[in-house]
C-alpha cells in the first residue's frame, strides 16, 4: 500500500488486514520484531540504528523476506511502508516469485489536505500513542490518560519538506508499478469509510476473488 504521510494508508491497511484476517506488516513493526528476536538481519539493523544511521535497502529487504516467510503471511498480507524505493520493489518481486501477483494500491491525497491533516495530528507525550483525528492539544490520552501534544515532526515547514522528499522518492516507485494490471489509485481525500470501500472494491476487481485473500 503506497501513499504519502497523512494519506491514511496505515489506518486503511490495518482495517483491511483485520477484516480479512491477514497480518498488516509495516517496516517499523518488523524491524522491531527482528531486533527483538535477535535474528541475523535484526542484529545488523540494530547495529546500524545504534550508530544513528538509516537502515539500507539490503537490510530492509532481508527483514521483509524473513517476515513474509512466516506462517501467518502464507495466505495473504498487507504491506505498509515497504517498498520505498525501486530497488526494494524489484527485490519484493523476487520474493513474490512463487506467490500470487502483488496488488499495489496508491492512496492519493492533495498536498493541501495532507498538510492540514499532518498539522493536526496529536500523540500522547507519555506513551506515544497516536490520537484520533480532531483531538485537541492538552486533551487526555484514551490509552493512559497522558496529555496530548502535536507531533514534533508535524510542524508545517517540516511537513512540507517531508512531502517534497516523499514525492521525489515515490514518483519512480509509482511509475514502476503503474504499468501493471494489478495497480490501482484511489482517492484518499474522502471519508475513511468511503476510502475503505474503494480500497476493497479495487482489490476485488484486481484479484478476481474478492474477500478470499490476495496480497496487497
Active site residue 9: yes
Active site residue 15: no
Helices 57-68/40-50 angle, 10° precision:
140
Of 84, 147, 164, 184, which one is the catalytic site residue? 84
Of 32, 46, 65, 151, which one is the catalytic site residue? 151
Active site residue 121: yes
Of 9, 15, 20, 184, which one is the catalytic site residue? 9
Cell numbers linked to 147: 496529555
Of 44, 67, 121, 215, which one is the catalytic site residue? 121
Of 32, 46, 65, 162, which one is the catalytic site residue? 162
Active site residue 74: no
25: left (phi over 0), alpha (psi -120 to 50) or beta: beta
Concatenated DSSP letters of the chain: -B--TTSSHHHHHHHHHHHHT--EEEHHHHHHHHHHHT-HHHHHHHHHHHTTPPPPHHHHHHHHHHHHTSGGGTT--EEES---SHHHHHHHHHHTTTSPPBPEEEEE--HHHHHHHHHT-EEETTT-PBPPTT--TTPBPTTT-PBEEE-GGGSHHHHHHHHHHHHHHHHHHHHHHHTSTTEEEEETTS-HHHHHHHHHHHHHHHHSSGGG--B-
Residues paired with 2 in a beta bridge:
106
- Catalytic residue numbers read 9, 84, 121, 151, 162
Amino acid at each position: 500500500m503506497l501513499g504519502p504521510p497523512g494519506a491514511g494508508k496505515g489506518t486503511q491497511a490495518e482495517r483491511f488486514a483485520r477484516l480479512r484476517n491477514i497480518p498488516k506488516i509495516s517496516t517499523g513493526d518488523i524491524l522491531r520484531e527482528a531486533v527483538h528476536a535477535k535474528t541475523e538481519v535484526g542484529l545488523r539493523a540494530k547495529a546500524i540504528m545504534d550508530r544513528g544511521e538509516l537502515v539500507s535497502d539490503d537490510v530492509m529487504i532481508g527483514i521483509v523476506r524473513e517476515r513474509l516467510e512466516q506462517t501467518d503471511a502464507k495466505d495473504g498480507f498487507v504491506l505498509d511502508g515497504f517498498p520505498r524505493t525501486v530497488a526494494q520493489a524489484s527485490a519484493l518481486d523476487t520474493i513474490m516469485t512463487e506467490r500470487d501477483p502483488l496488488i499495489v494500491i496508491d492512496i492519493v491525497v492533495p498536498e493541501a489536505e495532507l498538510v492540514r491533516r499532518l498539522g493536526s495530528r496529536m500523540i500522547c507525550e507519555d506513551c506515544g500513542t497516536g490520537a484520533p483525528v480532531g483531538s485537541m492539544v492538552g486533551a487526555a490520552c484514551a490509552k493512559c490518560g497522558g496529555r496530548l501534544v502535536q507531533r514534533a515532526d508535524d510542524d508545517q515547514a517540516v511537513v512540507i519538506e517531508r512531502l517534497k522528499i516523499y514525492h521525489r522518492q515515490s514518483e519512480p516507485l509509482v511509475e514502476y508499478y503503474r504499468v501493471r494490471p494489478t495497480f490501482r489509485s484511489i482517492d484518499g481525500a474522502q471519508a475513511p469509510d468511503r476510502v475503505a470501500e474503494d480500497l476493497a472494491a479495487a482489490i476485488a476487481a484486481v484479484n478476481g476473488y474478492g474477500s478470499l485473500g490476495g496480497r496487497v
